[in-house]
Every structure is written in structure tokens, then in C-alpha cells.
Amino acid sequence: MPCGMPAWFGLLKGLLDVARDAKCSGPVAESYGALETCERALDNSQLAMAASILRKLLSPADLDEAIRQRFGNHVLAQAGKLDRDTMEARMKHLVRGPWVGILTTNYDTLIEKALGRWVDREVVMVNEDNPRLGSVLASAPSAGLFFVKAHGSISGGRLVLSTEEYDRTYLGTSRMTSFLSALFLRYYVVFVGCSLEDEVIRIRRKLSLDFDGLIPVAYALLPDSEQNRTRLSWLREVAKIEPILYPESDRQHTSVEKFLAEASRCVDLATREKTKEEVTRTNLARVPVRDRLDRIGLVNVDLLQLIAGQPNVSLDHLDLVDMTRIIGAPMKSRLYEISPEERVYRALFLVSVRLLTEVQRKGTPVRYVLPEDVRKQLSSIKQV
């Protein structure tokens, strides 16, 4: 909306104007009767009914063209500089946020454009009618994200506009309902700029009932309106959705900008911290072996000494988890004072600074092998 694309009501009002100008096909009396019915539906906020009437009044070609005129990338290009900058900042922060995926009911391609411009990770993209929808939650790589368009796109595919199409998507088959159920059970979801449609609430209510309320909580960024305040408790208790309210007086929804910017900033901070850690490890791996051994701490040296004492100068992953498996393991050692998980983490750290080598053969656990040059330097270190 910041760049001039319409909201749901504005879209339907614009399509009604197109239908009037097109002098709808069919008998004039019938067309004008439908136009009047559609107008009354809009006046009474019966938007789904209005959408169904417009789908019948307009030819598929006229409807698709009208929607593309309102949601094409040219709308952003033609916006004023301030509005364009606002929209681009919103898109940048959205796609760079801490999400494993993004799902939208929007028709426009602004998010796709932002993903291509500001995201260097792999992105798995599908529409609602794509057969890959069933595997997208598993196919998105750990370093990437998934992107799903639930109601179609101006770039191709059918658009969900009328009540009939909405029912076909959510009620006619279990495709989207099953996908959303899997999404809600696997991830913490944040609704941004979403009206929390009845079907979304219904799915979350059913999941909450099926699992005694123990499902991942969702969050919804909503204006602090009287309507939203009256349903706070209901959303929390019945649908397990925690509303995050921002001032209703914020007509420009700058709170949305702030929320997305803060989310993006958290990722930037985490990335910078990770980068520092990676640089430190890389630098450490470059110094001579003896210097590395002097800098890694006593517990890590103990672990290396333990591996050096094994017949094959190696340990497998299960040995670190259960040290009773290790032949000749000292009964008193700092290694017993830390958890099995920490022993594994320390082994992975030692691999990262090249004091251990990770080896795995098919069907066997990972083995941590002590390189020969490290073993020779260890022999000269006196244990404390």
C-alpha cells in the first residue's frame, strides 16, 4: 500500500469501476442489476460477495488485466520518491528478517523482486497450485528459505478472488489446509499485514484442540483498535495467537516499518557476530600447531591427549557421548565434568581450527582423527 497498490476494498472498488466502463457482457438489465448488487455489497462490507459478482461480470482477460494494472511493478516505479523509498525499505527488511520462510496472499511480485535483490541465500518458490507445495517445508535448505504465494500471482497462475475460489483453495481440497497445518505445527508464525481470515483461525483452533493447546504460538502485528482489543483473549486462548498491538493512530503503519527493521537488524547483528567468530577460527587455524595448542584451553588439550592415547589415534562420535566406551579413559578428568553435548561441540571446534580431522565412512559414525603433526606437538606438552 505505501507505493499505491490497493487494499482489498480498494481493489474491489476499482474492479467495479472497470465493470461499469466495460458495459458488462450479457443482457443490460441483468448486468446493471449485478452492478447495483455489487455496489451494495461493498457498501455493507460484504467483500467476498462483491468479489464473486465481479468475477462473473468481468471476462477473465479483463479481470487479469485490471489486476495487473493495479499490482504490477510499474506501480512502484511510478510512485513518489518518499513512497518508493518507504516501500523498498519495507521489502528489504522483510526478506532479510529472521524467517525460515515467507507466505503471502498478495498478487504482486514485490517480494520476489526483493528476494532477488537483497537475498543471497537459495530460495524455494511455489504457488498454491504447484505440486511442490507438499515438499517445500522440507526442501528449503538450512541456509535458505521458502516463499509461498497462497492466492496466486500476476506473474502467472490462477488468482484467488471470489468466494468460490477461496472455498476451492481451502475447502474443496485439503492441499492448502494440510500445508498450513504443517506450517503451524512446525514453526512460530508471525502475521504481518494480515486480516487473520476465518479459515486461518479455524485451522489453528482445530490444531489447538487436537493437541490440547500445545502448539507453537503465533504472533500477529495488529492496530490497537477496539475490534482487535475485544478479541485479544479469544485469539490467545482459542487460536494460540499472541497479538502485538501498535497505536491505531498510526495511520501510515510506520510501526510495521519499525518492526521489520528491528527484525532485520537482529539478523545483521547475529551475522556480524558469526562472522567475527569465523574470522577468529580462521586466523587461529593459520598459526603454528604449537601456538594453537597453547591457545585452546586445558579441557580441549585433555580431549586431544585422550584421542592421542587411543590405539588408532581417533575417537568416534559415540565415544564422546558415552566415555565408558573408551579404552583407557582416565577416571578423573575435566572431560567428565562437562556434558556429552559440550564434548561433541569441543571436538567440532578442534576440527574447525584444524587440530582434529573429521572422517566418516558410509554406515559408520563420524570419527575424529588426530593428525600426525598435532600428535607430535602434544607429546611435548606436560599435562596439568
Residue 264 lies in a domain: yes
Residue 282 lies in a domain: no
pLDDT at 23: 59
pLDDT at 259: 92
Q: What is the pLDDT along the chain (384 residues), one digit of tens a residue?
A: 888 999 888 999 999 999 888 754 544 445 668 888 999 999 988 888 898 899 888 888 888 889 999 999 999 999 999 999 989 999 999 999 889 999 998 989 999 999 999 988 888 888 877 878 888 888 776 667 899 998 888 887 677 877 777 777 776 778 888 999 999 999 999 999 887 777 888 999 999 999 988 999 999 999 998 988 998 999 999 999 999 999 988 877 889 889 999 988 887 665 555 566 666 666 777 788 888 888 888 888 888 988 888 888 888 888 888 877 886 777 667 888 888 888 888 888 888 888 999 887 766 778 889 999 899 888 877 554
The reply to whether 36 and 99 lie within a common domain is: no
The reply to whether 81 and 110 lie within a common domain is: yes
pLDDT at 382: 58
Residue 1 lies in a domain: no
The reply to whether 83 and 192 lie within a common domain is: yes
Residue 238 lies in a domain: yes
The last residue of a domain, from among 71, 93, 108: 71
Distance CA 384, CA 372 (A): 22
pLDDT at 276: 60
Does the model's pTM come out above 0.85? no
The reply to whether 65 and 86 lie within a common domain is: no
The reply to whether 219 and 152 lie within a common domain is: yes
Residue 3 lies in a domain: no
The reply to whether 41 and 94 lie within a common domain is: no
The reply to whether 29 and 84 lie within a common domain is: no
Rounded alpha-carbon distances, angstroms, from residue 33 to 24, 26, 30, 53, 176: 11, 11, 5, 11, 35
Tally of domains within the chain: 3
The reply to whether 61 and 95 lie within a common domain is: no
The reply to whether 123 and 14 lie within a common domain is: no
Rounded alpha-carbon distances, angstroms, from residue 115 to 60, 84, 102, 119, 120: 29, 17, 11, 5, 8
Residue 242 lies in a domain: yes
pLDDT at 269: 64
Per the structure, the complete domain to which residue 371 belongs is given by 287-378
The last residue of a domain, from among 36, 55, 71: 71
The reply to whether 59 and 86 lie within a common domain is: no
Q: Spell out the long-range contacts of 278-286 with Cβ–Cβ below 8 A and sequence spacing 24 or more.
A: 281/349, 281/352, 281/353, 284/353, 285/352, 285/353, 285/354
Residue 112 lies in a domain: yes
The last residue of a domain, from among 41, 71, 101: 71
pLDDT at 28: 44
The reply to whether 204 and 310 lie within a common domain is: no
